């Protein structure tokens, strides 16, 4: 089942059930408090919080997302991408818990020939918030699930709120059991490698008050309850395609194969190399999608995240033994895997490709000049009979030349030198503190953006500037 097929099944299923199909919003969220769109619900936040009346009672989408928070997981777990697509169905004061559970179960378990996703009921588990007896009863009634397939979990994983006073409520998550080959038999609460979370159902049921973290008071039931769900399309794709992880699905694998081909190393033979290939496949795709949504590499904000993704890809290719430029081959591979669902990656490709190749060239030059500075420092240490490379040299390389610390460590180690990591880290820490103070002093000069939310809450406006 190709990813595009899953997307069509999703939109048809919810479209047929009265949901307005809403196209994906940009990765660049218009919420000023967010760097990127991190979930399917982001474009619907004004409706979910009640700030703006929803123009439809129910909606569905396949939303492009970026989660930089997951960057260190990429390639190591089977299920975390920096870019991924979240399929959502939303109810704005329309159906609630029973509707959401019924739809999710029906779509997952109905036969492929009938438009469903064809999951076997015996492979599915669910978690609920520990006090949400109503959800437990519904899972039993709607899906016929036995007690042992329903796990009660804490607020950390199974309770949602924006972190502010406003709507909040319990979640229920659906997991796929990959079988004993992947871990112990204790359900999602004990093992998240064997049991892969595929779908999160959020029941926006209560009004929360002040509080911090997961400690807040519940003021009462919401007069209009909402549903927000998110299913990870790549996760379902990798399970349905019978591959090991999300980097091996039809939308991503061609980039991984290209990285293997260019490096002359085979995928599936060495763990570290495999992780690198998966990182490249993920980061190239994320960069492609970010640039297609107008992000350009820079030293701040969104552009900096993009720059990091691009540089990490170069770095990973280097660790695979390739020092020559490779983006001219990796990016077309990603474009071709994504263009059926996102034609703009083709029409915008000249621009995207120019940005990617320019960034690669600059970074390769940085690496080359950093390497020669490092070579001088290494031979100085050696001549002085020291076994250490000064930590301030490592810091200077990192801070001024953008030369990655892991590369410094690697080159130093090859020359038989160590770097005082604690000293390096404290230099880094000092730098971060200075940057934070700087940002704080800049922030004080920024306008209060909440005025725009209030403005939007007034509904439609008419432009009268031509007449008046
Ligand atoms: P996990 O616990 O696996 O990190 P999550 O609980 O952070 O997932 P949610 O915030 O509940 O994820 O997002 C809804 C759905 O989106 C998840 O059930 C999952 O299928 C998918 N998803 C979340 N993060 C990623 C990611 N980094 N890459 C791919 N899919 C993801
Ligand atoms: Mg997560
Ligand atoms: Mg989770
Ligand atoms: Mg979740």
Is the ipTM higher than 0.90? The answer is: yes
Q: What are 120-175's pLDDT values in tens digits?
A: 999 999 999 999 999 999 999 999 999 999 999 999 999 999 888 889 999 999 99
CA of 4 to the centre of ligand 4 (A): 23
130/149 Cα distance (integer angstroms): 14
Strands 58-66 vs 83-92: parallel, antiparallel or unpaired? antiparallel
CA of 31 to the centre of ligand 2 (A): 21
- Kindly write down the DSSP assignment for every residue of 93-160, as one continuous string: SSS-HHHHHHHHHHHHHS-GGGTS----GGGEEEEEETT-HHHHHHHHHHH---GGGEEEE-HHHHEE
Question: Would you call 236 helix, strand, or coil by DSSP?
Answer: helix
pLDDT band at 300 (very low <50, low <70, confident <90, very high): confident
Q: Determine the atom of ligand 1 nearest the C-alpha atom of 192.
A: 3
Task: Map out the domains of the chain with their CATH numbers.
Answer: 3-240 (3.30.930.10), 252-387 (no CATH)
Pocket of ligand 1 from Cβ distances under 6 Å: 67, 70, 79-81, 84, 86, 197-200, 230-232, 234-235
Mean pLDDT score, 94-103: 98
Place of tokens 């930089």: 68
By alpha-carbon position, which residue is closest to atom 24 of ligand 1?
80
Helices and strands of the chain, counted as H and E runs: 16, 11
CA of 159 to the centre of ligand 4 (A): 10
130/156 Cα distance (integer angstroms): 11
Mean pLDDT score, 256-273: 98
Question: Would you call 466 helix, strand, or coil by DSSP?
Answer: coil
Which residue among 86, 90, 173, 192 is best mutated to probe the pocket of ligand 1, counting the most ligand atoms within 8 A of its Cβ? 86
Q: What are 269-290's pLDDT values in tens digits?
A: 999 999 999 999 999 999 999 9
CA of 81 to the centre of ligand 1 (A): 9
By alpha-carbon position, which residue is closest to atom 4 of ligand 1?
80
Q: Is there a contact between 408 and 374 (Cβ–Cβ < 8 Å)?
A: yes
Q: Determine the atom of ligand 1 nearest the C-alpha atom of 77.
A: 3
The pLDDT value given to residue 443? 61
CA of 18 to the centre of ligand 4 (A): 25
The alpha carbon of 405 is separated from its chain's Cα centroid by a whole number of angstroms, namely 25
220 bridge partner residues? 207
The pLDDT value given to residue 244? 97
pLDDT band at 467 (very low <50, low <70, confident <90, very high): confident
Residues with CB under 5 A from ligand 3 (ion): 197
Which residue among 6, 172, 195, 232 is best mutated to probe the pocket of ligand 1, counting the most ligand atoms within 8 A of its Cβ? 232
Asked whether the predicted pLDDT for residue 190 surpasses 80, the reply is yes
7 CB-near residues (< 8 Å, 6+ apart)? 62, 85, 87, 233, 341
């Amino acid at each position: 089942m190709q990813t595009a097929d899953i997307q069509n099944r999703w939109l048809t299923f919810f479209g047929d059930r009265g949901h307005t199909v809403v196209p994906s919003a940009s990765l660049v969220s218009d919420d000023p408090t967010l760097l990127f769109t991190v979930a399917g619900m982001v474009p619907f936040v004004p409706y979910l919080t009640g700030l703006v009346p929803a123009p439809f009672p129910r909606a569905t989408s396949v939303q492009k997302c970026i989660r930089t928070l997951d960057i260190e997981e990429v390639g190591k777990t089977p299920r975390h991408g920096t870019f991924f697509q979240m399929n959502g169905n939303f109810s704005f004061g329309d159906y609630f818990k029973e509707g959401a559970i019924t739809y999710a179960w029906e779509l997952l378990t109905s036969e492929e020939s009938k438009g469903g996703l064809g999951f076997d009921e015996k492979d599915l588990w669910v978690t609920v918030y520990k006090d949400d007896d109503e959800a437990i009863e519904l899972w039993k009634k709607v899906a016929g699930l036995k007690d042992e397939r329903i796990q009660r979990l804490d607020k950390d994983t199974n309770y949602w709120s924006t972190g502010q006073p406003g709507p909040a409520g319990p979640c229920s998550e659906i997991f796929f059991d990959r079988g004993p080959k992947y871990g112990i038999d204790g359900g999602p609460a004990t093992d998240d490698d064997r049991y892969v979370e595929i779908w999160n159902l959020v029941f926006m049921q209560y009004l929360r008050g002040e509080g911090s973290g997961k400690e807040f008071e519940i003021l009462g039931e919401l007069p209009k309850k909402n549903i927000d769900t998110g299913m990870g399309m790549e996760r379902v794709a990798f399970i349905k395609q019978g591959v090991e992880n999300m980097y091996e699905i039809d939308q991503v694998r061609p980039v991984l194969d290209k990285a293997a081909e260019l490096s002359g190393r085979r995928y599936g033979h060495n763990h570290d190399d495999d992780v690198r290939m998966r990182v490249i496949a993920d980061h190239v795709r994320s960069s492609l999608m970010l640039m297609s949504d107008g992000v350009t590499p820079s030293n701040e904000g969104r552009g900096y995240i993009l720059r990091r993704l691009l540089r990490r890809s170069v770095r990973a290719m280097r660790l695979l033994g390739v020092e020559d430029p490779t983006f001219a081959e990796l990016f077309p591979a990603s474009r071709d895997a994504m263009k059926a669902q996102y034609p703009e990656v083709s029409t915008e490709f000249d621009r995207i490709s120019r940005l990617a190749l320019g960034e690669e060239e600059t970074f390769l030059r940085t690496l080359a000049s950093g390497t020669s500075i490092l070579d001088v420092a290494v031979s100085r240490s050696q001549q002085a009979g020291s076994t250490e490379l000064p930590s301030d040299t490592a810091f200077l390389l990192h801070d001024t030349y953008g030369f990655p610390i892991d590369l410094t460590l690697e080159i130093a180690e090859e020359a038989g030198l160590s770097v005082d990591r604690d000293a390096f880290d404290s230099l880094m820490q000092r730098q971060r503190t200075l940057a934070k103070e700087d940002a704080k002093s800049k922030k004080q000069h920024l306008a209060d953006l909440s005025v725009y939310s209030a403005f939007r809450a007034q509904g439609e406006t008419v432009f009268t500037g031509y007449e008046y």
